[in-house]
Amino acid sequence: MKRWVSFALAVCFIATLAGISEARVKARPIEMQQSPTQVDDEYFNDLGQPGAMWFPNISNKGYIGYFDISGYYPGGGDQSTVWQAGMWAGGYVWNADDEEYYEFPWLFQGADGYHSDPATYDDLGLQAVIEDEYDFDYPYPYRRVTMKVNTATMPLEIADRGVIDGDLGMTVTYEWHSWGVREYDNWVFLHCTIEFSKDIQDFWWGFSSDCDIGDVGLADYYFDDYAGWDEAQKYCYMRDWDYDPVPFQPPAASVEDSLFQTPNVVGQILLAGPPVGGPITAAPSADQKWLTKNYWDWNNDYSTRQDAYERLNGDWENTFDSATDFDYRILNAVGPYDVEAGDVAEFWFAYVIGEGYKDEDHATFNLGTVDDHVSDAYAFYNGGMAIPASAYAPQAPDVDPDLAVDVQGDELTVDWTGYTNLPSPGLAADEFRVYKSTVSKLGPWELDQTLGSGITSTTVELVPGFYTYVWVEAYNEDAEVGSNPYALTSRIYAADANGIIRANENTIVGVIGATEAATDLDKVTVAPNPYVGSNEAEMTEYETLLGFHHLPAKCNIYIYTLLGNLVDVVYHDSESGSEFWDMTTRTNEAISSGLYVYRITTEDGKEKIGKFSVMKGQR
């Protein structure tokens, strides 16, 4: 029972998340809860402040807002990839008092909140506007999130000069675009418009990302990442080059037989910008690509404003070998431009994600490489961002179980909403296909059932002690096309308790199987057995859980070493037939790898003896 309380709380937490309203958000403004006129640094580091969320940042789980958010690609796969990122811009601002440009550069760093001002929303009364496919009559899932910031917050204290206003003179409008169509969901586009109120010389515009590829909770996984520059397609990227194995997977006979946890790659590309050498007010050109290509490990982060500007404009020399593993930051930029007050500039930028860099040797889920997706993203932009009708598919139905009701022992009741009223020429489903996986939200998937279009509920068998992942595909037989489990139709954007707009994903559900209380001790099982590295039922990287299943409603579980020494006693008293042990001794010490014996006793004198093995691994 020692870990059951925390386990139950975690399940209740998942149930709470799953219960988020399914109401669709349509061009819905989020009202400002306060509009401070004077903001100090601490304000922007406090997630409890609702105004602090609209820094120009994005994560890869459909979240747009505060930067420190982890996520998965594509849209929820337990293949942990997180980046915190934002726009960088800088240059030499005109000093009207001295009638000359300042001799030091001013900077805007969107991944650092004190450079932007959420109070600019007081003229809009909004923090953001969220629009979807219904606002544009698109026959496929789509989201556009529009937000504004300006740079008029921070006074800048300079030695021998005192305090100056510190305002770079920019009002920035961000339009983030994302599409929930298979093969068009490997990127997020940004249309950035900047209105200038000051003259600036040698202005540079770019984006910086601090990426962690791998299990972001484990430094051993994300400190072995790599950064690099692709000369052919002009983008910096972050990747995990050693392809960490799934932690609970026993050693496979060969690389080809293994599942890999982190073959993901994040790249950032300039889709279009004003041609360098001309006015910054010129129309964005797809021929303009990044001109600087920097990456560095965080032990060698910038130390001064001048240092940061030199990394932005390419004067700083990149001394890091992309074949050296560490935890990197990447930065790309374009410039220089000369800016006059009243100028308006536009840039188009994209994040692109893939399951490998240029090859799929270690790819597990056949999602395509980032290099291929970069090519596709360029082509999509150059083609007017038009999705062909042949790519349209039925919308993915929401799967949103009530874990307190729909999970009964080792069975999950799956419910979804049927539909026939998609916008023309969208396709309706004429059957539903139920898939499940015991590995991750990315699969690999096994077809569990095929059901008629009028059916909206079924029962799926769970694996006791492990997560089972389930999604329902809406399929059109004539077009031979099915819905995308990661489509944005299942991501309902809403503000959380901290004021951050998040995406509630209901397409893929993961639940832990249990068992009903049993009376026959011969049916008792232990899972996982052997325990190798971890158990999918574990909620965090700090937990260890071993499950005993098909237990009677009340019993005691004694655990011994092979020498007969008592390791721990677990007391089970529940209508559930499952109990979890935290794999620690009676003195709260972690157990060692080895073979163990368990003995289960009941009040009426029945007894069951069995064994299990533990191979402790990297966590």
Q: Domain of 451: which CATH number?
A: 2.60.40.10
CATH number, domain at 561? 2.60.40.1930
409 vs 11: CA distance, rounded Å: 14
Read off the pLDDT of each residue in 573-578 and give the average, rounded to a whole number. Answer: 85
Using the 3D structure, point to which of 458, 480, 512 is the last residue of a domain: 512
Query: Tokens standing for 459?
Result: 């029962």
Cα separations (Å) of 7 from 16, 36, 58, 218, 614? 14, 41, 31, 21, 21
CB 332 within 8 A of CB 209: no
37 vs 64: CA distance, rounded Å: 24
Q: Where are the beta strands (DSSP E) in 545-601?
A: 546-549, 554-561, 566-573, 579-581, 594-601
**Same domain for 571 and 470:** no
Query: Tokens standing for 65?
Result: 């807002």
Using the 3D structure, point to which of 336, 371, 391 is the last residue of a domain: 391
**Tell me, what's the pLDDT at 226?**
83
**Same domain for 257 and 174:** yes
159 vs 550: CA distance, rounded Å: 72
Is position 272 within any domain?
yes
Read off the pLDDT of each residue in 50-63 and give the average, rounded to a whole number. Answer: 33
**Tell me, what's the pLDDT at 156?**
57
**Same domain for 562 and 536:** yes
Q: Of 11, 367, 37, 58, which is closest to residue 207 (Cα–Cα)?
A: 58
**Tell me, what's the pLDDT at 163?**
61
Cα separations (Å) of 71 from 19, 31, 213, 439? 20, 26, 10, 17
47 has a pLDDT exceeding 60 = no
Maximum distance among all alpha carbons in the chain? 95
More confident residue, 243 or 570: 570
209 vs 591: CA distance, rounded Å: 40
Q: Does an H or E element contain 295, and which?
A: strand 292-297
pTM of the predicted model over 0.85: no
Q: How many domains does the chain have?
A: 3
- Arithmetic mean of pLDDT over the chain: 74
239 vs 224: CA distance, rounded Å: 9
The CA-to-CA distance between both ends of the chain, in Å, stands at 23
Q: Give residue 610's domain range.
A: 521-615
Dump pLDDT digits (tens) for 460-484.
Answer: 988 776 778 899 999 988 888 888 7
Other C-beta atoms closer than 10 Å to the C-beta of 71 total 21
CB 308 within 8 A of CB 271: no
